[in-house]
Amino acid sequence: TNATQIARRALQAKAKEHITSADEADKAAGRKLSGTPPSGSTTALGSPPRILVVYHNATAAEAGRRRLGWLSDIVDRLKDAIKEHRKMRRSHVDILELYVDPQNPANITEFQKNVDEICSDESVAACEEDQVVKATGTVPNDPSFGNQWGMMSIGAPDAWSVTTGSSAKLPNGPVVAVLDTGVDYTHNDLKDNLWVNQAELNGQAGVDDDGNGYIDDIYGYDFRNQDGDPMDDAGHGTHVAGVIAAKGNNGAEVSGVAWKAQIMALKFLAADGSGLMSDAIEALEYAVDHGAHVTSNSWGGVRFSAALYNAIVANMKANQLFICAAGNEGYDNDAMPDFPATFGIPNMVTVTAHDEDGHIPYWASYGNETIHLAAPGANIVSTVPASLFNESLYTANGTSMAVPHVTGAVALMLAVNPDLTWAQQKEVLLQSGTPLSENDTFLTVTEKRLNVSKALQMTASLTNAVSYPATATVAAGATVNVTVEVDAVTAGQYGATLDIHSGGSSVESSLRLLALGGSSLSPALPASLSVGKSAVHVPSPAVEVPIANGGTGVLAVQVQDVTGDHANDFEVLPPRGMIVTVSPNQESHLVKVRCIPSKSGTRTATLHLATNEGSP
């Protein structure tokens, strides 16, 4: 009726008073109604249909719920229709169960009116029909899988429906370098998932067959003892390797996150768990030189080291993610830095542990600015050398056990899309997580725990690259342009591989594409930054460049150059050409600058950044 329409407009006007100017921008950017139950819907007639009302944010949800209460008081039809109203306060979603009279021929029309009444408000980002879900996923037949609560917690069975770790581009699976106490390469659940240096395997014993400077490095290398036998003499590294890549669905023992990944065994820790940082640095270089896609680092506890810092930066330049442990001291790493965990280098993902209830244990270190993500790390069953433990499985606790869950997730992501950049891998890991419990908020950067199932869903959405023309005829001396389009879900750097076939020959070209989106660099960058004082040839502390996104789209920032008379004395991270993305209303702590002065006196330079706003 006209009275209802007038009341509705008045209530909408009231609701708008509670929405901030930032929310108005959100609405302009993305408000849409994504569908309501049509006639013949499987959710209608016979069982109460449900709609999901999605609000822009907490403020909009409060205003929308208040408005819905007012409408229910004014519109009797709506009051009678809403049979159940459940409020998801963390996700800003309402679940509404609506009554539909199956005897009334006009029930669908009535239902549509109710949905329109509920959804046609500017506080609502989207309305969706509830969907029928089916139990799915791949559950392996390994006898101890039932004890691996961590695999269920991260959504591994659903992820295994997508991939178990190999693909057409990576038929043997991604290569995962495990820097630890070594790996038992004879273990029944690991022996088929080892990286193998074929030149050394098929070469002569005691000879450096591939000329890489390491003799007999068949499965990796032992940097602690400087030989080619990375056999585990402690159990820690084998436990880590089992979480990553114990062979799944083979009727034996346990399953790793990535059943078909290749473990590169890089031993640098002794049987007592100690090792030299220099050995770790060498192991990191070996990992890059020999094609590892990602490194797993369940170790730490050193002071700040420029050498180790640079080693990790080198891995970043080689498009390698560095996943490391937060530590088991129960410290706030923001206040009490522990390295390498708190280096803050962009290609790092620092992981703390959570238990079976989803809580971060008292012994797990944390940090709202330095620790990115939580993953299963309590009572974790995995592989160990039977020669040391008199059994082949062992239950352990620690952030060391959390790291390989994340590393295995990255291996699965790379199986789906081998062209992912380190930045994409990190972005997917951090965005796809499941929220931690209320008591554990502010203990990590994301306030989330690992969800590999969602990570693979996001990864799959990054693979939609189309090139055209698909087939072309090129005359001698002529040129044909090929267009590549990528369906990007966020701003940032995307990878793709262009395969060109002609007759019996083919060539591959790796592409890096920049996807842009609406954003706002606000507040503006400061005119100058000081990195403090430092002795000649001694690195200064790294200083963050304050980058904040005050808009509603994702902000992409590219490091372009450092210029000036003293430019060579300055180091910027990430390196030139790389891109950092910043979500709406968030700040980035990834772009950092430090000075390594070559001479005494004041050193100055100019840092050049470009954003998707269109101006440097």
Instruction: Decide: 263 and 240 in contact? Cβ < 8 Å.
Output: no
If DSSP codes are grouped into helix, strand and coil, which group holds residue 257?
A: coil
Q: Phi/psi of residue 146, each to 5°?
A: -60, -20
Measured at the CA of 391, the angle between CA 244 and CA 143, to 5 degrees, comes to 60
Nearest to 450 by CA among 470, 474, 425, 472: 425
CB atoms within 10 A of CB 327: 28
Q: How far apart are CA 172 and CA 193, in angstroms?
A: 8
Catalytically active residues, by annotation? 180, 236, 400
Q: How far apart are CA 224 and CA 508, in angstroms?
A: 39
Q: What share of the chain is helix, strand, coil (3-state, %, to 5)?
A: 25, 25, 50
Q: For tokens 């101890």, what's the residue?
A: 144
Return the structure tokens found at 246: 């114990």
Whether the ω angle into residue 469 lies within 30 degrees of 0, i.e. cis, is: yes
| Burial class for 135, CB neighbours closer than 10 Å (0-12, 13-18, 19+) | exposed
DSSP string, 276-344: -HHHHHHHHHHHHHTT-SEEEE----B---HHHHHHHHHHHHTT-EEEEE--SS--BTTTS--BTTT--
Q: Phi/psi of residue 156, each to 5°?
A: -60, -40
Nearest to 96 by CA among 85, 108, 105, 88: 85
> Strands 294-297 and 321-325: what pairing?
parallel
The number of angstroms, rounded, from the C-alpha of 218 to the middle of its chain's C-alpha atoms is 31
CB atoms within 10 A of CB 475: 7
